Amino acid sequence: RRACPGEILARMELFIFFTSLLQKFSFRPPPGVTNINLSSDVGFTSVPLEGMICAIPRA
């Protein structure tokens, strides 16, 4: 199977990027919001519906 030679590197970079975000921030809904809609708009690709979230730095 032919594939992009940089695909594995790109996947590793994305993993490091998102794990560092999860290590350094806590993600919560904005104040006053009790439920978050996690559904997506299904089409050619799945796109999350618009929403807001707060990234709070960890101590």
Q: What is the pLDDT of residue 2?
A: 81
Phi-psi region of 7 (alpha: psi -120 to 50; beta: other; left: phi over 0): alpha
User: In degrees to the nearest 10, what's the CA dihedral of 33, 39, 17, 22?
Assistant: 40
Q: Which of 53, 55, 23, 17 is nearest to 37 (CA)?
A: 53
CA distance 23 to 34: 24
Q: What is the pLDDT of residue 57?
A: 97
Query: What would the pLDDT profile of 22-45 be if each residue is shown by its tens digit?
Result: 999 999 989 998 888 878 888 888
CA distance 49 to 41: 6
Please state, rounded to an integer, the average pLDDT across all residues of the chain.
Answer: 89
pTM above 0.75, yes or no: no
Domain segments of the chain: what residues?
Answer: 7-57
User: Could you tell me the pLDDT band of residue 14, with boundaries at 50, 70 and 90?
Assistant: very high
